[in-house]
Chains A and B, each alone.
Chain A
Amino acid sequence: MSSRADWSYLDHAATTPVDPRVHRRMASCMEREGTFGNPSSVHPWGRAAAAMVDQAAAQVADLIQADPAGVVWTSGATEADNLAILGAARFAANRDRGRHVISARTEHAAVLEPLQQLEREGMEVTLLPPEADGRVTPDAVADALRDDTVLVSLMHVNNEIGTVQDIAGVGEVLRDHPTRFHVDAAQSAGRLPIKAEAWGVDLLSLSAHKVYGPKGVGALWVRHRPRVRLEPLLFGGGQQSGLRPGTLAPHLIAGMGEACAIAAEELPTEAPRLAALRERLLHRLMALDAVMLNGQRQGCPHVLNLSFGCVNGDALQAELDGLGVSAGSACSSSERGPSHVLRALGVPDALAHSSLRFSPGRWTTEADVDQAAALVAGAVERLRAFSPAWREFGQGARLDELYGGNPGHAQESKA
């Protein structure tokens, strides 16, 4: 077994390493003479910490082009999603404003599970089916919208397949409707421009560890003008206007602020660089033939999801043991079952099982991508050499005939 250092890490959609600049910023808070104060305290130590938190909020808000006063610190994007969804829907339901919520089948579990909780509380949830490439169109949202709709929740970029939703378009559809609009932007932050205010977003979730910041901190941006109100999930000392009480963690918050500042600064060069790496990987792997692209041809620059036909997913995974990619069904691979995202796209289970998610990041080079492509190509070719499905494909059978389902919706490579 090779050591980790011999392999390229191509799983930045799962998490990113902490940028050394972020690490230095955090470390300076944690020194004996660092900014350790409780931001709620009024003495100089507290005021210093509060000023640092304010600076971090400005850095986060700058990345999403929004009012810094709306930043609420959380433990991560999961908590931000829960606070947004449960908080907004319960606030509306408690005031009899409506009980209907709209979202999509391809959302992250941190959105789907709070939605299930809302159903248990008597609310009605519409989960929109995606187009074949994972998009949920503004028209589909408009069609599902009702007078009693109180919340629409859509992710900006899908974590498994990298599909980019038209958030501005959906915001336009919702502009004259009283519903709240929540966007999980954990994956898009630092990879695509985000204009929370201009797009008409009311609530936006972020995670630090997806943008080279620390794990354990995230933020929910909550629109202040006009004011969006939420029922809190936690109760305590009244911090953050009672929306999310608990002593703030200055070192984590400073780290997230620094991470967002770096992401915003580097976005104009980093986004096209990642897109070129994605394109390079796509080009090399599609050349293998009988490979299906799951998601958009021009998806988010840091996520590429491919299904490799005519090989078994477990065998492919065994061949790539140690390569830093998500196998089987990306984020759902802990469940062993087929990914709910690929299922919603209509990908046959066996093809979902032999999918790989490649996710390059800040320090990924062309050489890393080439090495990964060569490893995967070698594994696929070795397994196909004795695969009867591959022989039949070579004799003219199409993937949709072999797999029974309808993979024709996605882009199949066939030389």
Chain B
Amino acid sequence: MPKSPRPRPLELAALARDHFAHPRNAAGLLEPAPEVGTGVGGRVQSGTYVVFQVRVAAEGCIDAARWECMGAPAAIAASSWLSEQLPGCSPEQARAWTALGIGDALHLEPEALSALLPVEDALKAALDALDVE
């Protein structure tokens, strides 16, 4: 028996796989504006680097989210999926999303969680950057 079998890339559940294959809201960042918050998570050196943006409409709810992600398939899927959950949320509700919660919602393996932490960090930083909260 081989001592160290070659690890397979983490298998993604169907929902995450679909987001990795067809990422949503990834077609370019929003222009800087007071109602747009931009945040960064992770680092290129560690292999995961995420930029997240949220825009808040006049009535105080998030109406758009954009992202960029250099990361493992789980991080890309999480960024895409999260960007679809945020519109309609208040910034306060948006803060409730953590790596753990995103991982559960996407049925990701526990091993994938570390790749999601930069996504959570980028979202928090984007919310912090909002002038209007």
Contacts and interface: CB of A to CB of B under 8 A. Distances in A.
Interface in A15-49: none
Interface in B12-55: 20, 23, 26, 40, 43-51
Interface residues of A, number: 30
Nearest to B72: A314
Given A334-B4, A388-B51, A348 B69 contact: no
Contact of A350 (B2, B6, B9, B44): B44
B10 interface: yes
Given A353-B47, A386-B23, A318 B73 contact: yes
Interface in B79-122: 115
A388 B9 contact: no
A388 B49 contact: yes
Contact of A318 (B5, B9, B40): B9
Interface in A72-126: none
Contacts of B67: 386
A364 interface: no
A388 B29 CA distance: 10
Interface size class of B (residues with CB under 8 A): 20 to 34
B47 A389 contact: no
Interface string A373-415: 0000000000101111111000000000011110000000000
Contact of B47 (A350, A385, A405): A350
B70 interface: yes
B124 to A, nearest CB: 17
Interface stretch (A143-151, A152-160, A274-282, A305-313): A305-313
A333 B6 contact: yes
B5 A350 contact: no
Contacts of B20: 315, 318
B9 A386 contact: no
Contacts of B69: 386-388
Nearest to A326: B6
B76 A389 contact: no
A349 interface: yes
A265 interface: no
Is chain B's interface secondary structure helix, strand, loop, or mixed overall? mixed
B29 to A, nearest CB: 8
A339 B2 CA distance: 19
A131 interface: no
A402 B4 contact: no
Contacts of A314: 9-10, 47, 72-73, 115
A405 B70 CA distance: 18
A333 B67 CA distance: 30
A205 interface: no
Contacts of A387: 49, 68-70
A315 B76 contact: yes
B70 A310 contact: yes
A318 B74 CA distance: 11
A15 to B, nearest CB: 13
A312 B47 contact: yes
A404 B44 contact: yes
Interface in A170-188: none
B44 A321 contact: no
Q: Which of B2, B43, B67, B72 has most A Cβ within 10 Å?
A: B72
A312 B45 contact: no
B50 A388 contact: yes
B5 A334 contact: yes
A4 interface: no
21 contacts: A311-B70, A312-B48, A312-B75, A314-B10, A314-B72, A315-B72, A318-B20, A318-B72, A318-B73, A334-B5, A334-B7, A349-B45, A354-B47, A386-B26, A387-B68, A388-B70, A389-B44, A389-B49, A403-B44, A403-B45, A405-B45
Report, nearest first, the 5 A-B pairs whose CB atoms are least far apart: A314-B72, A388-B68, A386-B26, A387-B70, A350-B47
